[in-house]
C-alpha cells in the first residue's frame, strides 16, 4: 500500500463530508470484487469509475455513434460523445447546487449511453426486434451499457465499477417529466441484476436510482438533448424556430441555451434534499416540447427516408454473424473481431444470439456500414437549411 496515496485519498474523502447529508459518499461505494488498485491509490471510488469509463474502448467509440441524425453530412451535428458530455455538465451543475457528489454524477452521465447500438434509437429499435425474433428478448441500451462496462470490456473482465455508478447508468432512461423522483436506497448488486434480468425479459417498469445523483442524471439526460435536437433540426432546415410551440417558448425560451438554463434553474429551485423534480409549469412545457420534437423532428420524413433499408442491413449483419459464430468460421469478423478476445466462460454461458447482439451493439456507425455490401449501403445525404 502506498501511504502517501492513501493519505491523499482520505483527505479527499473528508472533503465529501461537507456535501449534503443526502449525497453519496465514496466511502460507501460498493464493488463486486475487492479492488487493490483503488485501496492503494489516492482517488476516491467514484473518481476511479470516471477514469475507467473514459479509458474504456466503448467510450472511444462514442465519437462515431449517432445521437439523432444518421448519415447526414454536417460537421456541427450532435453525436453521442457530445451528448454525454452535455449531460454530464448539466447534471454536475445541478449536483453542485444541491451539494451532491460530482464524481458519481460524472461517472453515471459519461457512461449512461455507452451500450447504444449504431444509428441511435433507430438502430436500437431494429436490433431489439431482431433479438426478440431470435428468442433473446428485447435489446435495451441501458442494460447493455451496464453489461458492456461490467462484463464485456477488458476481454470479458469488466471494469469492476461501483454499484452506485452501474445502477445510475441502468436507471437513466425512461425519464419522467411530471413526477418527482426519489432514490431507492436499498439497492444491492443482487437487486440490480434482478431488475436488469426482468427488464431484459420484457417486463415494463421504471426502476428508481439508488442515489440522488442518479436521479439528477436522469433529469439531465432530457435537458441535454431536448433543446440541442431543436438546434440541429433548425440547422438542417427540418424546422424553423418560429415553429416552436409558443406556450413552451414563453416558459423555457426558444434557444438551446435558454431552454437548458430555464430547466436547470427550475430543477434546482424546486427539488428538495430527498427528491428531484420540475415545477408543474416546467413539467407541462417540457412534455409539450417532447411531443413537438417527436412529431416534427424524430419522425420527420426528411431524416428517415434514406434509412429505408437499415432494417435489411441489420438483419443481414445479424444473420451473417450468427451463422459464422455457430459454424466457428475462422477469419470471420465476429470470430476475429470479438470472440477471440473473450474468455471461454463468456462463450460457454452466453447464447449465440446474445453474443451477436453484444458484437453489433458495440459497433460504430461507420464500422457497421463497412460490413454491408457496398451496393446496399445507404448514402450520406446533404440537407440544405432554408434561407
Mean pLDDT of 319-346: 94
Answering whether pTM is above 0.75, one says yes
Domain ranges in the chain are 45-306, 307-376
Q: 130 and 315 in contact (C-beta within 8 Å)?
A: yes
Mean pLDDT of 176-193: 90
Q: What is the pLDDT of residue 10?
A: 80
CA–CA distance, 7 with 23 (Å, rounded to integer):
22
For residue 71, pLDDT beyond 90: no
Each residue of 229-248: pLDDT tens digit? 999 999 999 999 999 999 99
For residue 57, pLDDT beyond 70: yes
Helix axes 310-327, 352-361, angle to 10 degrees: 130
For residue 113, pLDDT beyond 60: yes
Instruction: Indicate the class that CATH gives domain 45-306.
Output: mainly alpha
For residue 139, pLDDT beyond 60: yes
Q: What is the pLDDT of residue 39?
A: 75
Mean pLDDT of 63-72: 87
3-state DSSP assignment of residue 162: strand
Which string of DSSP letters, residue by residue, matches 287-313? HHHHHHHIIIIIT-HHHHGGGTTHHHH
Mean pLDDT of 197-208: 92
Q: 40 and 2 in contact (C-beta within 8 Å)?
A: yes
Q: What is the pLDDT of residue 2?
A: 55
Confidence of residue 183 (pLDDT cuts 50, 70, 90): very high
Mean pLDDT of 34-48: 87
Question: Which region among 3-17, 72-86, 192-206 has the lowest average model confidence (pLDDT)?
Answer: 3-17
353: cell is 444470439
Rounded (5°) CA angle 20-190-206: 65
Mean pLDDT of 27-47: 89
Confidence of residue 1 (pLDDT cuts 50, 70, 90): very low
Confidence of residue 8 (pLDDT cuts 50, 70, 90): confident
Please name which of 242, 187, 154, 364 lies closest in space to residue 169, comparing C-alpha atoms. Answer: 187
CA–CA distance, 25 with 45 (Å, rounded to integer):
9
Amino acid at each position: 500500500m502506498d501511504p502517501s496515496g492513501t493519505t491523499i485519498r482520505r483527505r479527499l474523502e473528508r472533503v465529501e463530508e461537507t456535501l449534503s447529508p443526502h449525497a453519496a459518499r465514496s466511502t460507501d461505494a460498493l464493488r463486486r470484487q475487492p479492488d487493490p488498485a483503488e485501496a492503494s491509490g489516492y482517488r476516491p471510488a467514484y473518481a476511479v469509475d470516471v477514469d475507467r469509463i473514459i479509458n474504456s474502448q466503448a467510450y472511444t467509440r462514442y465519437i462515431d455513434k449517432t445521437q439523432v441524425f444518421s448519415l447526414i453530412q454536417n460537421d456541427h451535428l450532435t453525436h453521442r460523445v457530445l451528448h454525454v458530455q452535455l449531460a454530464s455538465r448539466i447534471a454536475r451543475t445541478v449536483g453542485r447546487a444541491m451539494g451532491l457528489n460530482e464524481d458519481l454524477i460524472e461517472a453515471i452521465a459519461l457512461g449512461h449511453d455507452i451500450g447504444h447500438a449504431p444509428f441511435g434509437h433507430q438502430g436500437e429499435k431494429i436490433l431489439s426486434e431482431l433479438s426478440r425474433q431470435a428468442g433473446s428478448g428485447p435489446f435495451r441500451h441501458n442494460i447493455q451499457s451496464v453489461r458492456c462496462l461490467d462484463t464485456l470490456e477488458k476481454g470479458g473482465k469488466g471494469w469492476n465499477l461501483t454499484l452506485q455508478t452501474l445502477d445510475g447508468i441502468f436507471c437513466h432512461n425512461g425519464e419522467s417529466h411530471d413526477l418527482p423522483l426519489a432514490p431507492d436506497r436499498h439497492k444491492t448488486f443482487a437487486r440490480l441484476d434482478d431488475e436488469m434480468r426482468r427488464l431484459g425479459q420484457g417486463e415494463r417498469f421504471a426502476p428508481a436510482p439508488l442515489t440522488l445523483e442518479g436521479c439528477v442524471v436522469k433529469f439531465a439526460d432530457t435537458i441535454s438533448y431536448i433543446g440541442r435536437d431543436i438546434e440541429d433540426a433548425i440547422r438542417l432546415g427540418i424546422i424553423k424556430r418560429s415553429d416552436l410551440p409558443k406556450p413552451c417558448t414563453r416558459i423555457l425560451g426558444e434557444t438551446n441555451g435558454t431552454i437548458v438554463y430555464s430547466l436547470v434553474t427550475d430543477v434546482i429551485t424546486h427539488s428538495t434534499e430527498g427528491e428531484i423534480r420540475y415545477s408543474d409549469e416546467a413539467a407541462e412545457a417540457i412534455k409539450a416540447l417532447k411531443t413537438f420534437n417527436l412529431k416534427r423532428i424524430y419522425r420527420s420524413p426528411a431524416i428517415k427516408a434514406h434509412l429505408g433499408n437499415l432494417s435489411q442491413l441489420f438483419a443481414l449483419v445479424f444473420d451473417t454473424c450468427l451463422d459464422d459464430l455457430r459454424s466457428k468460421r475462422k477469419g470471420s469478423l465476429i470470430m476475429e473481431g470479438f470472440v477471440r478476445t473473450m474468455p471461454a466462460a463468456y462463450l460457454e454461458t452466453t447464447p449465440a444470439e446474445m453474443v451477436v447482439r453484444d458484437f453489433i451493439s458495440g459497433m460504430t456507425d461507420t464500422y457497421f456500414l463497412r460490413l454491408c455490401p457496398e451496393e446496399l449501403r445507404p448514402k450520406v445525404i446533404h440537407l440544405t437549411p432554408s434561407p
